[in-house]
Amino acid sequence: PMSAVKSFLTNISGLYLDNPYHNNKHGYDVAHCVYRLVTIAGLNGVFSHLEFFSLLLAAVGHDVGHPGVNNVYLVKAKNELALRHNDRSPLENMHCSVIYDVLNKEESNVFVGLSDGQWREARKVILAAVLGTDMSHHFEQISKIKLFQEVNGEDTAAFCAGEKDTIDILSEEKERYFIMEICLHCADISNPYKPFKICSQWAELIVEEFARQGEREESEGLEISPMMDRKTIQLCNMQMGFIEFVVAPLIIGFVQ
């Protein structure tokens, strides 16, 4: 029901914290980018409606409740979130939990019309996609994307050229979930391939959030994380390194 969709979005938006970067604007920006990546690639004709809908919900809520510090800090500080999730993707596990806290409210239950099987299918998509945004998986994801391209390159090229209606390997559920995970991860770090006016503003916001984490670490007697010491941060160098070594290999692999 549309009333449930509105309630879900309002609740999720309100549960994002007022961080410089990881706030509700980031959540909606990433959701829009997921929509664009999926539709431009024609993957909305490959994913089921339920899968695409679930992926968009995952995107909206993928950073909900983010405290403005990263997993490295949470583990270093012996934070409650890290202890609760055994140091394994504490932020991403928390985001998943908050999404389902909202879905469990009667007025926000956008899955009210689903069968039990459909509900479990949607949950698989949401968990896989959100947990896949943990940057600790990033370089493994790049390797998997390259392997996917090597094995399925001809098939994907034929699909993109309009010569086929589907990509054969994506008839397998596990492979579709992987591509959905990559769609969300690509969108999550998409700022550098947006128009520069937008990219530069997001860059300034993430650097401010990093600097605040560094100050928090310093005040708590913890080692300041790399690139988070306000006194030594060089935004241009940080962004160039991030683009060249982190973003470009992933998005180029995805595009190919």
Is residue 22 flagged as an active site residue? yes
Q: How far is CA 27 from CA 13, 56, 76, in A?
A: 8, 10, 26
Assess contact for 158 and 149: CB atoms under 8 A. Answer: no
Q: In terms of Cα–Cα distance, which of 16, 4, 55, 51 is closest to 33?
A: 55
* Residue 256, token pair as written in the block: 């190919």
DSSP state of 132: T
- In single-letter form, the type of residue at position 21 comes to Y
Structure-token match 């683009």, residue found:
243
In 14-60, DSSP assigns E strands to none
Residues 64, 97 contacting (CB under 8 angstroms): no
Which is catalytic among the residues 22, 66, 95, 185? 22
Q: Are 237 and 169 in contact (CB under 8 A)?
A: no
Dist. CA 149–CA 74, nearest whole Å = 35
User: In a 3-state reduction of DSSP, which class is residue 1?
Assistant: coil
Distance separating alpha carbons of residues 191 and 226, to the nearest angstrom: 21
The two counts, helices (H) then strands (E), for the chain are 12, 0
Q: Which token pair is 212?
A: 């605040």
Residues annotated catalytic, as ranges: 22
